[in-house]
Amino acid sequence: MLYTPSAEAGILNGITRQTVLEIAEEKGIAVEEGLFSTKELHQAEEVFLTNSLIEIMPVSEIDGKTYAIGKITERLISAYKEQVNEEISAG
């Protein structure tokens, strides 16, 4: 399951985020958008950020809690890079 803040949380609902959500859907990764607390964030097994410059960046620590780069993050990074390369090749 991929949990992501909804646009109501004040995040930028940008192209990179939308692409990641589309990839998750294509890969059969369930997505839940909502308003999540810090407590819920600390319960996550893996965490990543997205933006146009870094694309998908795993988060290694928040408030002293460490996170590994998990399977979902790895799958999304790989699929995102593949999609970008395909688009560049198509030119």
> Is the pLDDT confidence value at 11 over 90?
yes
Instruction: List, for residues 35-77, the tens digit of each pLDDT value.
Output: 999 999 999 999 999 999 999 999 999 999 999 999 999 999 9
More confident residue, 19 or 91: 19
- In CATH terms, 2-90 corresponds, of 3.20.10.10, 1.10.150.570, 3.30.420.10, 3.40.50.300, to 3.20.10.10
> Is residue 73 packed enough to be buried (19+ CB in 10 Å), middle (13-18) or exposed (0-12)?
buried
> Is residue 26 packed enough to be buried (19+ CB in 10 Å), middle (13-18) or exposed (0-12)?
exposed
> Is the pLDDT confidence value at 91 over 90?
no
Domain positions in the chain: 2-90
